[in-house]
A and B are shown apart, each in its own frame.
Chain A
């Protein structure tokens, strides 16, 4: 009798499972197609970079990376990121505070405006600064008279990068702070904390993972941006060449191995970004689970 109930239960389970999933054969075929697609579109390009970088041996690889122009490009890339990211963190924090903590007219419109740079082509992002600061630009004659260089120099590269990466921190923080609500901040203020104290001791600990997430995405894009920087850089070797632009020059000179060697460096940067991103997602989900349990 017990056996019969068991059998019936198992049969019922099978029906329940069959109702929400596909037969094993279909599952296998779908998984295989998805994996083949991902291998062709994601794994093969990575493999090409690694194979291309090591095509002339390890010694050539390190030579390509330690060339003076490559080092100068790496330095410039880091410098641009070091200036850009803090600026966009300040912007992101201010925008998220204003948009998430308060209700005011035109809030939705402002949120859309913050996202705007994402729908502008990188080439156009560079072009707009050429139109403002370039020799024929609005401020061009004045800048020339005062011997200030913005386009085809560091300030132009930084401006274009700031434009392209400005939404990253803000769009991470706005929904997060909106979801968390104002209760804790209200309590802190009513108990006598100042605005800064509330921000440092209440808000910041609550948003730290989201902030870090935005910073990482912003940094990765700032170091990897190509189109916008390409327009305002002027491609002066050793001076206004970032790592992605250096890759382009090497490639167009048919120095493929060197181009892939520098690319592999940027690819490792991408992998670090992905790893950090997943670490943060994991941390965040762990913390929310803990608070949900307690």
Chain B
């Protein structure tokens, strides 16, 4: 088997060489050094750091709130995509453009805006306090920030699939006697499910590592509202490089497994679509 198929276009060696060098210097070498550093800790020290109550609590919180926010976005992201594709209402173009706001707004800005909004005296905070719910400085607040961050991932992956969905299939379902709800559950939803899951996985993996929009609203109480990225930051400020590296290593392994699973899943659905 040859490494490369023949082509008349020049520049393969140069561009591939540049890409690999750049990628190695910026991404691969620094990242592998982190894993190397984690192995020099020794297994016992590493294990001791990772299973400490504070680290486990922060990992549980980061993954738990990320999962909760991804589930909320699965429902509301789908709804927003549905409404934007299927219905007409005044100002639709502006609303459509605004969906990308969480991509474009610096996370620190989103963080202080959401904190002010959900603080006990904020506009939403007062409303929720009336219902006896405390949002800011609780896991709920963290989840709200992560919903904000993850929304465009779900909407933007579902939207094109929904747009390309053929109306004829829905007409066929109708003429075969299905009502709208049945058509949605049994015909439309299965078709957009791969995109919806991909969008959710992207939102989830972004949410797990999210820092800027969460630190302000989290309250940062150890064991209660301290997310894993913040704990890394705290350990760094205390010059505990080994501790920071251990937590980072665990988070990276989980994120990479997730990335790998998403890619496999996408490859699998693409294959399925071709059949």
Binary interface encoding of chain A residues 89-113 relative to chain B, with 1 for a CB under 8 A from any of its CBs, else 0: 0110111011101111100001011
Residues of chain A within 8 A (CB-CB) of B33 are: 128, 131-132, 138
Let me know if B4 and A48 touch, CB within 8 A.
no
Q: How far is the CA of A33 from the CA of B9 in the complex (A)?
A: 53
Given contacts A121-B210, A132-B33, contact A244 B232 (CB under 8 A): no
Let me know if B109 and A195 touch, CB within 8 A.
no
Let me know if B174 and A20 touch, CB within 8 A.
yes
Q: Choose among A27, A123, A224, A273 the residue that contacts B87 (Cβ–Cβ < 8 A).
A: A27
Q: A222 to nearest B CB, angstroms?
A: 10
Given contacts A94-B15, A119-B259, A182-B9, contact A273 B108 (CB under 8 A): no
Q: How far is the CA of A116 from the CA of B239 in the complex (A)?
A: 27
Let me know if B98 and A185 touch, CB within 8 A.
no
Residues of chain B within 8 A (CB-CB) of A182 are: 7, 9
Q: How far is the CA of A129 from the CA of B173 in the complex (A)?
A: 56
Q: Which has the most chain B C-beta neighbours within 10 Å: A38, A91, A121, A130?
A: A121
Q: Choose among A102, A121, A267, A277 the residue that contacts B100 (Cβ–Cβ < 8 A).
A: A277
Given contacts A48-B123, A104-B4, contact A131 B108 (CB under 8 A): no
Residues of chain A within 8 A (CB-CB) of B116 are: 48, 52, 256, 260
Q: Does A266 contact B (CB under 8 A)?
A: yes
Q: Does B265 contact A (CB under 8 A)?
A: no
- Chain B binder among A3-11, A56-64, A225-233: A225-233
Binary interface encoding of chain B residues 160-177 relative to chain A, with 1 for a CB under 8 A from any of its CBs, else 0: 000000010011011100
Given contacts A128-B34, A130-B236, A224-B106, contact A119 B256 (CB under 8 A): yes
Let me know if A122 and B212 touch, CB within 8 A.
yes
- Chain B binder among A141-149, A158-166, A204-212, A283-291: A158-166
Residues of chain B within 8 A (CB-CB) of A189 are: 8-10
Q: Does B76 contact A (CB under 8 A)?
A: yes
Which residue on chain B has the smallest CB distance to residue A248? B108
Q: How far is the CA of A225 from the CA of B102 in the complex (A)?
A: 13
Q: Choose among A102, A134, A198, A244 the residue that contacts B106 (Cβ–Cβ < 8 A).
A: A244
Q: A138 to nearest B CB, angstroms?
A: 6
Q: B58 to nearest A CB, angstroms?
A: 12
Given contacts A122-B229, A244-B108, contact A227 B236 (CB under 8 A): no
Give chain A interface residues in 245-294, CB to chain B under 8 Å: 245, 247-248, 251, 256, 259-260, 263, 266-267, 269-271, 273-275, 277-278
Q: How far is the CA of A230 from the CA of B232 in the complex (A)?
A: 12
Residues of chain B within 8 A (CB-CB) of A31 are: 83, 87, 89
Let me know if B117 and A112 touch, CB within 8 A.
no
Which residue on chain A has the smallest CB distance to residue B263? A112
Q: Which has the most chain B C-beta neighbours within 10 Å: A46, A48, A267?
A: A48
Q: B271 to nearest A CB, angstroms?
A: 13
Q: Does B22 contact A (CB under 8 A)?
A: yes
Q: Which has the most chain A C-beta neighbours within 10 Å: B27, B102, B236?
A: B27
Residues of chain B within 8 A (CB-CB) of A102 are: 4-5, 7, 9, 12, 16
Q: Choose among B26, B148, B174, B258 the residue that contacts A166 (Cβ–Cβ < 8 A).
A: B26
Q: B262 to nearest A CB, angstroms?
A: 9
Q: Choose among B10, B83, B232, B258 the residue that contacts A124 (Cβ–Cβ < 8 A).
A: B232
Let me know if A127 and B15 touch, CB within 8 A.
no
Binary interface encoding of chain B residues 225-258 relative to chain A, with 1 for a CB under 8 A from any of its CBs, else 0: 0001110110010010100110010011001101
Q: Does B86 contact A (CB under 8 A)?
A: yes
Given contacts A103-B4, A226-B108, contact A22 B180 (CB under 8 A): yes
Give chain B interface residues in 113-141, CB to chain A under 8 Å: 113-114, 116-117, 122-124
Q: B46 to nearest A CB, angstroms?
A: 15
Residues of B within 8 A of A (CB): 1, 3-5, 7-12, 14-16, 18-20, 22-23, 26-31, 33-34, 37, 76, 79-80, 82-84, 86-87, 89, 95, 97-110, 112-114, 116-117, 122-124, 147-148, 151, 167, 170-171, 173-175, 180, 205-206, 208-212, 216, 228-230, 232-233, 236, 239, 241, 244-245, 248, 251-252, 255-256, 258-260, 263
What are 21 A-to-B residue pairs whose CB atoms are below 8 Å? Answer: A26-B180, A35-B83, A37-B79, A38-B99, A41-B148, A45-B117, A46-B101, A52-B113, A90-B18, A98-B15, A118-B206, A119-B255, A119-B258, A121-B251, A123-B233, A127-B236, A130-B241, A162-B26, A227-B229, A244-B212, A247-B106
By Cβ-Cβ distance, the 6 closest A-B pairs, closest first, are A121-B209, A224-B106, A19-B174, A227-B211, A226-B212, A270-B104
